[in-house]
């Protein structure tokens, strides 16, 4: 057993910034971070666009950012949370800069602010088209300087240790030794990111399998708004499954046009904001266009833009396109919507507290009330920074060691059991991803959702039976977690009676 004061599960911006602050505040307390892959592998790392923060008070204002967020959330945001997150943005940005993160400046020495869909002003602070990578680099360097922080990579969290609605830590599988370790902690913070690989076609890295939300659900914490899945309108199209390369929304903010195969600039048919409508509208519009035409993708036209300036702003996107034979000066970029972000998750209050005592959540796995029915572009890194700070401020004033666990901590049977057939798991995962894309995608059919629920429950029962007689593995648990998340999405989609933001359900039998 490993005892720690603070157990953080996940190594993205949310978990790491909390760790840095609590380590500085309590140099004699022990902070342990466990993460399922390499320490720098997280959704944070792949965030291209940037952080939406009001820095230019002349052109912009908190009110404008708040209003943009509320409009995008389609009436389901918590307005007091929106105000809190937006107004705290500049302080959190200042901390990142103090920790060594670098952001692009213009010739006048001010932030080179980008504009994305749903924003009324340029307010996205960025580092070229690799903002998340730069933030992750800077904060990991800070974490490594703290002697009281231990980072254990390739440790897969299996389940939370709970009793009487209190959380006392977690069980994790050391992927190298195959041993299950008990982590006993005073406080546990879930910062486990998103769910993208439940859909297969996603901009998320392969680690995004909804583990934290599934664990919290099994621990009876409240889970909310799972039906609100954000699909990014412009992932680079290719016919294979798996993670998709993101063509940042900032490219449309820079002036790119969306066109059909025949060249029609269709977004103006759906919204007066054209390509800069919010992500839910752009994704739903693309989905409708593809259903009408039968085409596999639409196209992003950058041929009218200044090439040198484009390369300076989007070097990674330019190089990726070039590597597959797309010359953006002459060719259109084939794009298609892909799962990008979950607006719901583990319900937390303004201090990041879940409904289970001593258990906190921040980042994409949490449901704070900021996003409502659809997240405003580049509000996610902002939310992660603000809520990790809220958890820090709350826990900085709470004493440790008061909670006593009286139950029996499971040793997880160490008896040798047969391994689960990897082909079986891979086949079920592919079937699950197809089921979710067809039945719980951009547009859902009310007649298909109950059938999807029945299939998901069947798979869940099947997996639980297999788990009793076979060796536990990461692949098994990830699949079990994804089925759990699929169940939550489908059930909450059935319960949602009106279309809002990223949620569209139609009363018709789907062709799928």
Spatial distance between the Cα atoms of 201 and 16, rounded to a whole number of angstroms: 27
Bridging pattern class, strands 2-9 and 179-190:
parallel
What pLDDT score was predicted for residue 510? 43
Residue 162, pLDDT > 90, answer yes
Strand ranges in 100-253 using DSSP code E only, listed in sequence order: 124-125, 149-152, 155-163, 166-174, 179-190, 223-224, 229-236
183-232: per-residue pLDDT in tens? 999 999 999 999 999 998 888 888 999 999 999 999 999 999 999 999 99
| Element of type H or E holding 366 | strand 366-367
Catalytic residue among 92, 123, 252, 279: 279
For all residues of the chain together, what is the average pLDDT?
Answer: 92
Contact 67, 77 (CB under 8 A): no
Has residue 477 got a pLDDT over 70?
yes
pLDDT at residue number 402: 59
pTM here is 0.92
- Tokens describing residue 284: 């739903």
Other beta carbons within 10 angstroms of residue 462's beta carbon come to 12
Total number of residues shown for the chain: 512
Res. 46 pLDDT band, cuts 50 70 90: low
Residue 407 is predicted with a pLDDT of 60
First to last CA, the chain: 49
pLDDT digits (tens, 9 = 90+) for 320-367: 999 999 999 999 999 999 999 999 999 999 999 999 999 999 999 999
Token digits for 181?
């370790």
Among the residue ranges 25-34, 46-55, 355-364, the one predicted with the least confidence is 46-55
Q: Any alpha helices (H) in 267-314, and if so which ranges?
A: 279-293, 307-313
- Average pLDDT on 372-390 reads 96
Q: Binning pLDDT at 50, 70 and 90, where does residue 148 land?
A: very high
pLDDT tops 50 at residue 512:
no
Bridging pattern class, strands 179-190 and 166-174: antiparallel
Tell me the per-residue pLDDT of 12-28, one tens digit each, with 9 for 90 and over: 999 999 999 999 999 99
437 as an active site residue: the answer is: no
Regarding beta strands 51-52 and 31-34, do their DSSP bridges make them parallel or antiparallel, or are they unpaired? unpaired
> What tens digit of pLDDT does each residue of 390-424 get?
999 999 999 887 556 666 566 565 567 898 999 99
- Nearest by Cα to 373 from 249, 499, 507: 499
Q: Hey, CA dihedral for 343, 349, 351, 353, is it positive or negative?
A: negative
pLDDT, mean of residues 100-126: 93
In Å, how far are 36, 213, 313, 484 from 9, measured between CA atoms?
9, 12, 33, 19
DSSP conformational letter for 421 = P
Rg of the chain over Cα atoms, rounded to whole angstroms, equals 22
> What is the rounded CA–CA span in Å between residue 272 and residue 79?
25
Task: Provide the pLDDT for residue 410.
Answer: 64
Per DSSP, the three-state class of 252 is: helix
Q: Which pLDDT value is given to residue 511?
A: 44
In this structure, are strands 298-301 and 229-236 parallel, antiparallel, or unpaired? unpaired
Is residue 243 very low, low, confident or very high in pLDDT (cuts 50, 70, 90)?
confident
Report whether pLDDT(149) > 70.
yes
Q: Measure the CA angle with vertex 136, ends 131 and 137; round to 5°.
A: 100
Residue 97 has pLDDT above 80, yes or no: yes
* All structural domains of the chain: 2-227+343-395 (3.50.50.60), 236-338 (3.90.700.10), 422-506 (1.20.58.100)
Tell me the sheet residues that pair with 2.
Answer: 183
pLDDT of residue 239: 72
Confidence grade of residue 37 (pLDDT, cut at 50, 70, 90): confident
- Give the lowest-confidence range in 33-42, 60-69, 105-114: 33-42
Average pLDDT estimate for 422-446: 94
Residues 271-285: pLDDT tens digits? 999 999 988 899 999
CA neighbor of 204 nearest in space, from 478, 431, 459: 478
Proportion of the chain above pLDDT 90, given as a percent:
82
């Amino acid at each position: 057993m490993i005892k720690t004061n603070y157990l953080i599960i996940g190594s993205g911006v949310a978990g790491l910034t909390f760790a840095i602050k609590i380590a500085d505040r309590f140099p004699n307390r022990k902070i342990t971070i466990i993460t399922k892959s390499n320490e720098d592998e997280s959704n944070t790392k792949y965030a291209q666009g940037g952080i939406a923060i009001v820095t230019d008070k002349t052109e912009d204002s908190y009110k404008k950012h708040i209003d943009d967020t509320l409009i995008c959330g389609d009436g389901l945001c918590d307005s007091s949370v929106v105000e809190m997150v937006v107004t705290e943005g500049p302080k959190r940005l200042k901390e990142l800069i103090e920790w060594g993160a670098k952001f692009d400046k213009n010739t006048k020495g001010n932030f080179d602010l980008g504009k994305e869909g749903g924003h009324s002003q340029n307010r996205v602070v960025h580092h070229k088209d690799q903002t998340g990578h730069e933030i992750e680099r800077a904060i990991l360097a800070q974490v490594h300087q703290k002697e009281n922080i231990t980072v254990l990579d390739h440790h897969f969290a299996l389940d939370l240790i709970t009793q009487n609605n209190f959380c006392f830590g977690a069980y994790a599988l050391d992927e190298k030794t195959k041993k299950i370790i008990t982590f006993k902690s005073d406080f546990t913070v879930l910062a486990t990111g998103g769910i993208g690989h439940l859909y297969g076609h996603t901009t998320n890295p392969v680690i995004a399998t909804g583990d934290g939300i599934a664990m919290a659900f099994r621990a009876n914490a409240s889970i909310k708004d799972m039906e609100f899945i954000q699909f990014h309108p412009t992932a680079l199209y290719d016919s294979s499954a798996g993670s998709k390369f993101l063509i940042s929304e900032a490219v449309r903010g820079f002036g790119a046009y969306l066109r059909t195969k025949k060249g029609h600039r269709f977004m103006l048919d759906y919204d007066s904001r054209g390509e800069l409508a919010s992500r839910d509208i752009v994704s739903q519009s693309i989905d409708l266009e593809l259903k009408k035409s039968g085409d596999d993708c639409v196209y992003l036209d950058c041929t009218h833009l200044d090439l040198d300036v484009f390369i300076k702003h989007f070097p990674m996107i330019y190089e990726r396109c070039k590597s597959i034979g797309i010359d953006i000066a002459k060719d259109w970029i084939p794009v298609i919507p892909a799962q990008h972000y979950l607006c719901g998750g583990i319900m937390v209050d303004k201090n990041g507290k879940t409904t289970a005592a001593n258990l906190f959540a921040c980042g994409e796995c949490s449901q704070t009330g900021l996003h409502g029915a659809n997240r405003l572009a580049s509000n996610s890194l902002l939310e992660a920074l603000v809520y990790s700070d809220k958890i820090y401020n709350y826990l900085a004033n709470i004493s440790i060691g008061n909670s006593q666990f009286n139950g029996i901590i499971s040793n997880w049977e160490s008896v040798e059991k047969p391994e689960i057939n990897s082909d079986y798991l891979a086949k079920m995962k592919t079937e699950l991803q197809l089921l979710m894309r067809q039945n719980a995608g951009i547009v859902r059919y009310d007649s298909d959702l109950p059938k999807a629920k029945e299939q998901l429950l069947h798979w869940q029962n099947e997996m639980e039976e297999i788990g009793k007689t076979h060796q536990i593995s990461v692949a098994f648990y990830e699949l079990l977690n994804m089925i759990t998340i699929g169940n939550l999405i489908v059930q909450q989609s059935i319960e949602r009676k009106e279309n809002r933001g990223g949620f569209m359900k139609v009363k018709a039998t789907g062709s799928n």
